[in-house]
Amino acid sequence: MKIAPDDLFLIIDVQNDFCPGGALAVADGDAVVPVVNRLAERFDHVVLTQDWHPAGHSSFATSHPGAAPFSEIAMPYGPQTLWPDHCIQGTAGAAFHPDLATERAELVIRKGFRTAIDSYSAFFENDRKTPTGLAGYLRERGFRRVVMAGLATDYCVQYSALDARRLGFETIVVLSGCRAIDLGGSLAAATTTMREAGVELVKDTV
Contacts with ligand VGL, residue ranges (CB under 6 A) = 13, 18, 51, 83, 120, 151-152, 155-156
13 near Zn ion (CB under 5 A): no
| Residues 79, 43 contacting (CB under 8 angstroms) | no
User: Is 13 a residue of the active site?
Assistant: yes
| Residues 132, 111 contacting (CB under 8 angstroms) | yes
Among the listed ranges 88-96, 108-116, 134-142, 143-151, the one in contact with Zn ion (CB under 5 A) is: 108-116
How many Å apart are CA 50 and CA 12, to the nearest integer?
Answer: 7
In the complex, minimum distance from the CB of residue 7 to Zn ion, in angstroms, rounded to a whole number: 27
Q: Which of 7, 17, 51, 154 touches Zn ion by CB under 5 A?
A: 51
Nearest CB to Zn ion, comparing residues 114 and 166: 114
User: Is 111 a residue of the active site?
Assistant: yes
Nearest CB to Zn ion, comparing residues 52 and 143: 52
Which among ligand VGL, Zn ion, none contacts residue 151 (Cβ within 5 to 8 A by kind)? ligand VGL
Which candidate, 77, 97, 78, places its Cα nearest to that of 87? 97
At residue 38, the 3 state secondary structure works out as: helix
Catalytic residue among 30, 111, 154, 163: 111
Burial string for 101-129 (b: 16+ CB within 10 Å, else e) reads: bbeebebebbbbbeeebbbbbbbbbbeee
